[in-house]
């Protein structure tokens, strides 16, 4: 295994040119005092990470005053310092602030639990009445359904007597007859309610007439306060 590798390397060395194939010559570095590499910030070829306060802070941290960097320029401006303090307050709160937030969260959770328990207790107290109303509504719905079914059967029987045994409920004559019967039933119900109101008024008038005149309250006079 070693012999083929040696032959391969020998052939590669034989094919190597005596000068650089790319003809590339690297730009010499700009060295300052004490062999410190300081790139030119005005050169467009200078990389972005070799410019600005971060790189100068790196040089000053490594070489100190020998780097030629003024440490006053590395200190943040008042606006930057204010931004840093606000960021620290947001992401690194103090222990007291964290305890206050935790206490407020626990109070809010306790309030929600208390409100939920109160709502459950109120709903449980209303449960019998709600169940009774639901049963009554179901009973009324069933009664209304039976009444509607009986009404349709009654109208169908009346239509059979008038038009014959075979009658189509979708025919225009049947629909017209249904409308007329609905109007008649509404008139009857209206007259019945009116009669009931008149009977109630007559009963109240009879009761009032039976009361002696002395027992009746005197009508208020303009000088008498009501």
Q: For each of the chain's 226 residues, which pLDDT tens digit applies?
A: 556 666 766 666 555 555 545 555 656 655 555 567 777 878 888 888 888 888 888 888 888 888 888 888 888 888 989 998 888 888 888 889 889 999 999 999 999 999 999 999 998 998 999 899 999 999 999 998 998 888 778 777 777 776 665 666 677 777 777 777 778 877 888 888 888 888 888 888 887 777 765 455 555 555 555 4
pLDDT at 26: 59
pLDDT at 125: 92
Angle at 197 between CA 194 and CA 198, to 5 degrees: 85
CA dihedral (160, 163, 166, 169) in degrees, to 10, reads -80
Is the Cβ–Cβ distance between 62 and 29 less than 8 Å? no
pLDDT at 139: 92
**Within 10 Å of residue 108's Cβ, how many Cβ atoms?**
10
Q: Where does residue 7 fall: left (phi above 0), alpha (psi -120 to 50 degrees), or beta otherwise?
A: alpha
DSSP characters over 31-75: B-GGG-B---TT-TTS-GGGSSHHHHHHHHHHHGGGG---GGGGS
pLDDT at 51: 83
Q: How far is CA 53 from the centre of its chain?
A: 46
pLDDT at 99: 93
pLDDT at 183: 81
Q: Which phi and psi angles does 31 have, rounded to 5°?
A: -105, 135
Find tokens 């000068």 and name the residue: 19
Is the Cβ–Cβ distance between 55 and 47 less than 8 Å? no
């Amino acid at each position: 295994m070693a012999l083929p590798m040696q032959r391969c390397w020998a052939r590669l060395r034989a094919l190597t040119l005596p000068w650089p194939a790319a003809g590339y010559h690297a730009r010499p570095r700009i060295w300052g005092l004490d062999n410190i590499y300081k790139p030119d910030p005005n050169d467009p070829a200078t990389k972005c990470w070799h410019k600005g306060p971060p790189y100068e802070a790196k040089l000053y941290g490594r070489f100190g005053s020998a780097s030629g960097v003024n440490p006053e320029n590395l200190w943040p401006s008042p606006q930057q310092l204010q931004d840093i303090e606000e960021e620290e307050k947001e992401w690194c709160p103090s222990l007291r602030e964290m305890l206050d937030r935790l206490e407020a969260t626990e109070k809010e959770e306790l309030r929600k639990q208390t409100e939920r328990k109160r709502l459950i207790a109120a709903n449980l107290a209303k449960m019998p009445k709600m169940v009774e109303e639901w049963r009554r509504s179901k009973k009324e719905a069933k009664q209304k359904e039976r009444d509607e079914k009986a009404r349709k059967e009654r109208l169908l029987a009346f239509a059979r007597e008038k038009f014959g045994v075979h009658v189509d409920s979708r025919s225009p004559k049947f629909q017209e007859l249904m409308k007329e019967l609905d109007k008649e039933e509404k008139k009857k119900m209206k007259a019945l309610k009116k009669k009931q109101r008149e009977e109630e008024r007559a009963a109240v008038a009879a009761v009032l007439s039976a009361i002696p005149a002395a027992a009746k309250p005197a009508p208020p006079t303009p000088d008498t306060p009501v």
